[in-house]
Structure 1
Amino acid sequence: MEEEKLKLPLELITKILEYTPNPFCTNHLLLCRGIYWSFLWKVYSQPELVSNNLYPDESNNFVPKNLKLLMKRKFQNMVKCLDLSRVVQSGKNSYMSKLLRRTSSSLEIFISSQSSFGAAPLVSIKSCFRLKVLDLRLVSESVNLAELFKSIQCLPELEQLCFPRSSVTCDEFDFQWPQKLWYLRLQGGITDFFAANVRFPETITCLEFAHCSHLTRTGLDDILSHIGINLTRLSITYPMPKIGDDGADRSFWFCPNLKSFFVDIAYISWELFSEELLVILKEYDRPLRSMTIESTGYMGMCEKLSPNDITIAVDEERLPCFERLGLSAMLGWDFKSDDMNDMISELDHHNIEVFKV
C-alpha cells in the first residue's frame, strides 16, 4: 500500500512529459500503453516531414516514409497541420493529392513544398473544409489561379492565403472569397487588369506583395485604394520589378490605419515621409507603431531616402504612435554619420527604438 501511494497518477505523468525538452521521445512513449495513446494524437497532429523522412518507391519517386501511417483510417482524423516547407522532393502530384484527401477531415494548416503541387492537389484542397491556413508561397510549378479560386470557394473557415509565386495570369473575377479571410499574400500572375477588376474582401487586414512580376504602380494603387483603409499590416518586398522606384510612396496615403509596415527601399523615396503623403490625421492619431526598411544592397539606394526625412516626420509629430524602426544593414547608410546620430537622438527622445535587421 505504501508503494501505491508513491505512484503518480497517469494525468500528472503526461503533464510532466509535456514540459520536458523532448516530450514525444520514444523512450517516454514506451513507458506504458496509456502514455503512448495519450500522446499519439499530438504526434500526428503535426507530423515531422523533412527530406530525411523520404525514401524512393518502385518508380524512383519520393514519398514521405510515414505516408502510409497518415493514410491509415485510425490516424487520418488526427492530422491538423501538414508543413512540407522543409521537404525537397520530386514526386507525383497524385501523392500530394492522396495525402490531402486522407487528412481532409481534420486538416487546418497546409504549407506546401516547392514541387508536387498541381491540378490534382488543387482539387483535393476542396475537401479540406476545416482548412484555416493555405500557404503556397514556395510552389514553383505553374498553378492556374482560376482553379485556385474555385478551390478556396469551398473553404468556409479559411483565414490565411498565400498565392504561389509561379501562378499564371487570371482573367476570371466571378468568384466568392472566404468570409473569414484576413491575411493575403499576393504573388505570381497578378496583373493590373486583375487588380482593377477583383473586389477583395473588406475582412483583409494584413496584405503582402512579393514576386508580382506583372503588377505596376497602377495596379498596386488600385488594390490599396480599395482595401487600404482596412489594413493594419502591409508588406511590399523584393522582387516587384514593375512598380517603379517610388511605387510604394503612397502607402501611408491609402492605408491610414497601418500599425506595421515592411518595405524594400527599392520601391520608396523621400516622398513617403513628405507632408503631402504622410499627413496628420484629424479624426485620430495615426496608429503606425512599427516600420522596417529592407534593402537588397544595390548601389544608389541610399540616396533615395535619408535619416533626415524620418527625423523631420517624427519631429513634426506625424507619427505620434511610432515605437520601432528597423533598418537593413544593406541600406548603404553611414550609421556613424551626423544625420544618423541626429535621427537616433530625436527618435530616442520620443521613446522610439531603432535597430538593424
Structure 2
Amino acid sequence: MPNLPTEIWFRIFENLVSWNPYEAKNNGALLRICRNAFSGGLPVIYFFPKLNAKNYAKFFNTISETDFGKLVHHINLTNISYTSKASITSRLLRRCAQNLESFSGPQTGLGFTALRALSNCSHLKKIDLSVLSERIDLQYLFAGIQNLQYLEYIDFPALSKFSPGHNESWPPSLVHIGFAGAITDGFIAESSFPPSLKSVNITNCPQLTDTGLFTLLSKVGTTVTSVTVQYPMAELSRNALDCIFQLCPYAGIISIPANYITSNLFESLSESGVSHKVEHLEISYSGSLLTAVSLVKADDIVSALADGKLPQLRRLQYSIRLGWKEESEDVQDLVDLIDDQGGEVFVSVK
C-alpha cells in the first residue's frame, strides 16, 4: 500500500468520508502511512477538519505556519468554548479565506476584527453564529457580509446590539435568514431583503413586536417557502401570528408556537376563499395547560380541512402540551381528514 500513487490515496481518503462529506472528520493519523498518503489525503482531511478544545491550538498553529489554509472549505467552531480568542478566530479566517464555504462560530464571542475578516472569505455560502454567548455589534457583522455575493445562509446570534445611525444592506443571494437578538421593528422597516430569500427562522428577538413581525412577513411572505417562529418572543401578542397564512401564501413549511396564535388563524383562512400551499404544519407550545389562555383546538384545523382550505397539508405535528386527547372525536376526525389527503399526524413533546 505505501507504493500506491497519490491519486489512489486521494480516492481512499475521499471514500472514508463519502457517506457525508460535509461532516467534520479527523483521520489525520492516516496521513503518517507514507509520503503519497500524506499528499493524497491532506486535501480531504483539511476540507472539513474536526475541531475541538484539544486540537484547536495545534490546528491554528499549523494553518499559521503553512499554506494549508487554502485546503479548508468548512470551519465549525461550535465545540470550541473558552479556548477560542477573538483575535485567533480573526487570523484563522484570514488564513482560510481563499476557499472557505461555511463558518460556524464558537461558543464564546467574535470581536469586530473577526467579523470584518468575513469579508475576505469571498466564497462563503453559510454563516452560523447561533451559539455565540457574548454580545456582538451587528454593525461590524454587516460590514463583513454585505459584499459576499455567494452567501446563502446566515443565522444571527441571540446576543447582539446595533450601533445607531447605520443603514445595513443584505447580501444579494441569501436563501435563509435566522433572525435573533437585537432585531427591532425599525431595523425590519428599513431593510430591503433580497428576492432570493426562501426561508426565515425567527426566535429570541426580545425587541420585535407585532408590528415588526407583520412588516417582516409582508416584505418576504410572497417569496418564502419555509417560515419558522420559535418561542420565546417576548413582545409578541397572543394573536401575533394569526396573519401568517395570508402573508405567506406559498410557504410549504410553517412551524409556529401556539403561544402566538388563536382559532382566528384558521377561521381567517376559511374567510379568504383561497386554499393555502402549506404541506408541513408544526404547532409547538411552551406553556401550561393550567393557564386561562384559550389555546387553538384540533377542531379548528378540522374545519379548515373540511372546507378544503388546506388541500396540500400532508404532515401535521402538534405538541402534546396542547392537551389534544388522541382518543377524542376531534383528533380522530383530524387524523382521518389528513389521511384522506395522503398525510400523517404526529405528536411531539415540544
The reply to whether TM is greater than 0.5 is yes
Q: Who is 2:303 aligned against?
A: 312
Match of 2:285 among 292, 295, 314: 295
Q: How many Å separate the matches in 2 of 1:341 and 1:137?
A: 39
In the alignment, the residues of structure 2 paired with residue 170 and residue 287 of structure 1 have an alpha-carbon distance, to the nearest angstrom, of 39
Q: Tell me which of 70, 88, 103 is aligned to 1:77.
A: 70
Partner of 2:206: 213
Give the SS at the match of 2:281.
Answer: strand
Once the 2 structures are TM-superposed, how far is the Cα of residue 275 of structure 1 from its aligned partner? 3.6
Q: Distance in 1 between matches of 2:188 and 2:42?
A: 46
Residue 315 of structure 2, aligned match among 316, 319, 324: 324
SS of residue in 2 equivalent to 1:51: coil
Q: Which residue of 2 aligns with 1:38?
A: 40
Tell me if structure 2 keeps the 8 A contact 1:278–1:318. Answer: no
Tell me how far 1:28 sits from its aligned partner.
Answer: 4.6
On the 8 A contact 2:105/2:129 being kept in 1, the answer is yes
Check whether the contact 2:154–2:177 (CA below 8 A) recurs between aligned residues. yes
Q: 1:355 aligns with which of 331, 346, 350?
A: 346
1:192 aligns with 2:194: no
Relative distance call for 1:81 and 1:26 in structure 2 (3 A) is closer
Most deviating of 137-146 and 253-262: 137-146
Please, which moves more after superposition, 172-181 or 218-227?
A: 172-181
The verdict on how the C-alpha distance between 1:9 and 1:315 changes in structure 2, with shifts beyond 3 A counting, is farther
SS of match in other structure, 1:236:
strand
Of 184-193 and 211-220, deviating more is 184-193
> 1:128/1:12 Cα in 2 relative to 1: closer, same or farther (>3 Å)?
closer
Q: Which residue of 1 aligns with 2:92?
A: 99
2:345 is aligned with what amino acid? V
Equivalent position to 1:47, from 41, 46, 49: 49
Give me the TM-score of the superposition, normalised by structure 1: 0.87
Counterpart residue type for residue 40 of structure 2: S
Looking at structure 1, the residues matched to 338 and 285 of structure 2 have their Cα atoms a distance apart, in angstroms, of 21
Q: 2:158 aligns with which of 162, 165, 171?
A: 165
CA distance in 2, matches of 1:338, 1:230: 37
The question of whether the paired residues in 2 share the 8 Å contact of 1:171 and 1:194 is answered with: no
**Among 249, 260, 276, the residue aligned to 1:256:** 249
> Are the equivalent residues in 2 in contact too, given 1:302–1:331 (CA < 8 A)?
no
Structure 1 gap ranges (5+): 55-63
Kept after mapping to 1: 8 A contact 2:312/2:341: no
RMSD value, Cα:
2.6
129-138 or 25-34, which deviates more: 25-34
**Mapped partners of 1:120, 1:21: distance in 2:** 33
Structure 1 residues 38, 297: CA separation in 2 closer, same or farther (over 3 Å shift)?
Answer: farther
Task: Find out whether 1:140 has 2:103 as its counterpart.
Answer: no
What is the number of equivalent residue pairs in this alignment? 340
CA-CA distance at 1:113 after TM superposition: 1.2
Q: CA deviation at 1:302?
A: 8.2
Residue 71 of structure 2: SS of its match in structure 1? coil
Deviation at 1:33, TM superposition (A): 2.6
Q: Distance in 2 between matches of 1:27 and 1:95?
A: 25
